[in-house]
Amino acid sequence: MTEPCLATIPGCGPSWRAVWRSWKASGREGEFLARLTDDQLDDFLHEWRSWARASQWPPAAAADGAPWTIWLMLGGRGSGKTRAGAEWVRALALGRPPAARAPTSPIALVGETAADVREVMVEGVSGLLRIHARYERPRWLPSRRRLEWPNGAVAQTFSADDPEQLRGPQFAAAWCDEIAKWSRAEEAFDMLQFALRLGEAPRQVVTTTPRAVPIVRRLVADPRVAVARMTTAENALNLAPSFLDAIVGRYRGTRLGRQELLGELVEDRAGTLFPRDLIERCRIATAPTLARIVVAVDPPASAHRTSDACGIIAAGRTADGRLCVLADDTARGLRPAQWAARALALYHRLEADALIAEANQGGEMVRSVFADADSSVPVRLVHARRGKWLRAEPVAQLYEQGRVAHVGAFPELEDEMADFAHDGLSDGRSPDRLDALVWALTDLTQPDTQPRVRRV
């Protein structure tokens, strides 16, 4: 029997892999782990070379054969792309090949929002604080948005919704996470390029679930970018079996499944009312002054985990008739009292003027659910008398006329919009987010009612 590797320093990754497989094959995993010292166990669990898949390892070159400056990882949900991005940053900071021959610093960490950077890239289960062995773990200074390694390397965190943060600092490397969800993706990414000016060859890793938005298309088409694709199934050993059974089983073979599970860049569906280019043209960073705000709800028929979601969309209208999509609080698996509370919370947060609810699935029960939760909120019930396509067509015309703006990005809603054609969504699901959007924007095109007085 091969004995456990006794090296206590990083670098015996291949030995760890071989030894672990040998002991595991004989059913003696517990004995193997019991024989390791605390330091050996720490190294064993954190030696990335022992566990990384080929798609998670830095590529040799870009598509054009030259050394890459951008490594784009397109991965399905739970495919391990966040772990791969964090491990690349770790290797840079510690100066480990093939990422670096010497510690590389400073490093920019850019996520969709400040909360996403903190909760996913830094503190998440695959984040930077979790993947380091104890003796090499960086110190996290949240008030300074800064990570400091024992060897002096540093990383700074940034929110993509504030590109101006990237004006001034300079870096030797960067990690961008979920760039397809950034509301100001082009602006933030371009600002980052100006900041990558230290060292001989600044590099960056971009990890994202693929969505056919301009920034992702731009990177995929660039021959200087090294593109890696990962599927959810490749990482099955690290995922809950219930997740695989429920999610993979439900979405296998669908357009959404190709994007979210296979990591494919899925273009607009033929015949869609809402092409992505149309949606991208209507994006703005902040909402103008609004004269009226509504929250629209498309209730589900049941509250099971696999039931339709409860579509909850907020939108507003300016005094001159421009429309703005403000929020998507859609949720799945909620009981009536829960989705009512969620919609009412959004109503109060935005100081809305009315709550619009489709009554086809529950009739007056829908009104009573809201009344039980908060009888002060005006609820208007609407009934669908025409098909979803016919109801959505006038709304699509509003987009084509440039009368609708999206305040920020709403990835799930926009995916649903781009996938909606004459026969509904490609996977047969109910377009709950789109239904709620249609009700909200339709209401806002109706004649004025007395607006609610808002706090100043």
Q: What pLDDT is recorded for position 230?
A: 93
pLDDT average, residue stretch 405-419:
92
Q: What pLDDT is recorded for position 12?
A: 42
Interhelix angle 214-221/185-195, rounded to 10 degrees, is 50
385: confidence class by pLDDT, cuts 50, 70, 90: confident
Query: Taking all residues of the chain, what is their mean pLDDT, rounded to a whole number?
Result: 88
The values of phi and psi at residue 232, to 5°, are -60, -40
Tell me the domain boundaries of the chain. Answer: 13-49, 54-260, 276-444
Bridge pairing between strands 154-159 and 146-148:
antiparallel
Q: What pLDDT is recorded for position 15?
A: 57
Q: What pLDDT is recorded for position 302?
A: 65
Interhelix angle 38-46/13-25, rounded to 10 degrees, is 100
Domain covering 276-444 assigned CATH 3.30.420.240 in the classification: yes
Residue 78 amino acid letter:
G
Q: What pLDDT is recorded for position 4?
A: 43
Q: What pLDDT is recorded for position 102?
A: 92
Q: What pLDDT is recorded for position 1?
A: 41
Per the CB < 8 A criterion, the answer to whether 426 and 274 are in contact is: no
Report which of residues 208 and 62 the model is more confident about: 208
Place of tokens 């809305």: 352
Residues forming a β-bridge with 173: 107, 203
Report, at the CATH architecture level, how domain 54-260 is classified: 3-Layer(aba) Sandwich (3.40)
6: confidence class by pLDDT, cuts 50, 70, 90: very low
CA-CA distance, 321 to 36, in Å (whole number)?
69
Does 322 have pLDDT greater than 60?
A: yes
Place of tokens 């609708």: 404
CA-CA distance, 414 to 420, in Å (whole number)?
10
Q: What is the pLDDT of residues 304-317, one digit of tens each?
A: 555 678 999 999 99
Residues forming a β-bridge with 379: 355
Does 454 have pLDDT greater than 60?
A: no
13: confidence class by pLDDT, cuts 50, 70, 90: very low
pLDDT average, residue stretch 139-145:
97
Count CA within 13 A, CB hemisphere, residue 257. Answer: 15
Q: What pLDDT is recorded for position 304?
A: 56
Q: What is the pLDDT of residues 95-108, one digit of tens each?
A: 998 888 899 999 99
The pTM (predicted TM-score) of the whole model is 0.74
Proportion of the chain in helix, strand, coil states, percent, rounded to 5 = 40, 20, 40
